[in-house]
Chains A and B, each alone.
Chain A
Amino acid sequence: MTEILRTSPLDAVHRALGARLAEFGGWEMPIQYSGVIEEHRACRESAVVFDVSHLGSVRVSGPGAFAALQWAFTNDLNRIEPRRAQYTHLLDERDAHVVDDIIVWWLEPEAFTVMPNASNTEPLVAAIKAAVKTAAAGEAEVLDVTDSRVVLAVQGPEARARLSTFWPEAASVGHFHVVPVTWLGESGWASGTGYTGEDGVEIEVPASVANELWDAIVASGVTPAGLGARDTLRLEAGLPLHGHELGEGITSLQAGLAWVVRFDKPGGFRGAGALRVEQEQGPSRVLRGISVEGRQPPRGGNTVFFGGDDVGEVSSGNFSPILGHSIALAFLKPSVELGAEVTIEVRGRELRGTVVRPPFVRRP
């Protein structure tokens, strides 16, 4: 059976720019334009734009929306307020593994946009619908609007300055704030969020006006960047990628994201029981960074050794364009301390590295 890949409303624009496309979570998206390293540097030094329309957009609205999301996700919406964004997790009810990591945009008192990873939109919609019933705090409509809009991420130290040359209302959104914006007469949203470790803005507009927005962003001096650079950027920033640092068999606590989990929030949340057991016992492994000597990239699945013992496994690894050597994220036994000198076995060779706390590259 041939899988039919979904494409962004900007697909023709990407092809015209000579983008190399690749499959990602059931979508065919740009992996690179000029080259991963050039795009990576552009994000650290000036500004880039990613088409991230493959992320899901699920609108949850109605009197029961707040309570449903409070039950469905680990973080506590009481810590924010309308017009703010929050990073949160959806857990499996039985073993508390992270089904998905999510950004929630709280648009209006009774309206939210929930943004899952591409391949997780369907299970997320099902989980929220179930939560509406469980929380029993009123009706809520759950609508997958992914096909109707594009999401562009403008990221980098100059992202806001470039954006402000033609669209100050989007450029001025605060860090983790969400504001309504108007583009060519159409309503959209801008959010001060991203996935690169840099400052930036993520923008949602209707698909019908997406081409004009992309063109205006690029004309303001922002470099198009693909999902290849997005991956090397998030790795330098120590940010988890679903399927590597989160997913089947991996909990929020193992991934070092305990701050996303609010055990004390009123009413509890889905998966809390199973996760509390792990919290009391302490996780059997924790996510660490490994600063690797040399340029050879470790890859997911490579074994990590400390003092001759197998102490864990690499989840993601690559060459760091900014540091000039390789870096990795790895799940290690908690007994392996920061600063430990480890080796990573890569196709029969041993790479030397030091256990560190991510991020590898910090915004100045």
Chain B
Amino acid sequence: MIYPDDLKYTQEHEWVKVTDGRAMIGITDFAQDALGDVVFVQLPEIGVSVLRSVGIAEVESTKSVSEIYAPLTGVIAEVNTALEETPELLNQDPYGAGWIFVLEVGVEAEIGGLMDASAYQALVEG
């Protein structure tokens, strides 16, 4: 399993990359491996305001569906439309081409509540 040091993580196995008040979000290597082959991604809508911990997207594999939660409060700024036709990017490159959406961070203070790589690794590997 890979846990890049420059990312933050959530209990729901999402990663967050915060740059200049914008946060890019995807699912972790552990999450994609557990899901299996991803066949469908329901992306959020650009411009929508989201609250932290609320379900805003779905990732579905051949065997199950998982909800994607907003890791931070904010406004959806970008979505990865490449996933509509090639959802397998989530399996192939979860920390890169498999990103799901970007949001404008609404509450900076929430960032401190995310886990760093070593805390997330400890969560996954117990």
Chain A positions within 8 Å of B, measured between CB atoms, are 20, 31-32, 35-38, 228, 232, 294-297, 299, 318-319, 326, 347, 349
Give the chain B neighbours of A349 by CB distance below 8 A.
42
Decide if A296 touches B36 in the complex (CB within 8 Å).
no
Which residue of B has the minimal Cβ distance to A324? B85
Give the chain A neighbours of B87 by CB distance below 8 A.
295
Which residue of A has the minimal Cβ distance to B58? A347
Give the chain A neighbours of B88 by CB distance below 8 A.
37
Chain B stretch 69-96: residues in CB contact (< 8 A) with chain A: 84, 87-88, 91
Q: Give the number of residue pairs across the A-B interface with Cβ within 8 Å.
A: 42
Chain B positions within 8 Å of A, measured between CB atoms, are 36-37, 39-40, 42, 58, 60-63, 65, 84, 87-88, 91
Given A297-B62, A347-B58, 13 additional A-B pairs, CB 8 A: A35-B37, A35-B91, A36-B62, A37-B37, A228-B36, A294-B40, A295-B84, A295-B87, A296-B40, A318-B62, A319-B39, A319-B62, A326-B40
Of the A-B pairs whose beta carbons lie under 8 Å apart in the complex, a sample of 7, sorted by A's number, is A36-B36, A36-B62, A37-B62, A295-B84, A297-B60, A347-B58, A349-B42
Instruction: Given A37-B62, A228-B63, check contact A297 B39 (CB 8 Å).
Output: yes
Decide if B40 touches A36 in the complex (CB within 8 Å).
no
Decide if B40 touches A295 in the complex (CB within 8 Å).
yes
Nearest chain A CB to B82 CB, angstrom units: 13
CA distance A299 to B62 in the complex (A): 10
Decide if B63 touches A296 in the complex (CB within 8 Å).
no
Which residue of A has the minimal Cβ distance to B39? A319
Decide if B63 touches A36 in the complex (CB within 8 Å).
yes
Give the chain B neighbours of A38 by CB distance below 8 A.
37
Decide if B42 touches A35 in the complex (CB within 8 Å).
no
Give the chain B neighbours of A35 by CB distance below 8 A.
36-37, 91
Give the chain A neighbours of B60 by CB distance below 8 A.
296-297
Give the chain B neighbours of A232 by CB distance below 8 A.
62
Give the chain A neighbours of B61 by CB distance below 8 A.
36
Nearest chain B CB to A171 CB, angstrom units: 30
Give the chain A neighbours of B37 by CB distance below 8 A.
35-38
CA distance A37 to B62 in the complex (A): 8
Decide if B39 touches A295 in the complex (CB within 8 Å).
yes
Most buried by B among A20, A38, A295, A326: A295
B62 partner, pick from A20, A228, A294, A347, beta carbons under 8 A: A228
Nearest chain A CB to B59 CB, angstrom units: 11
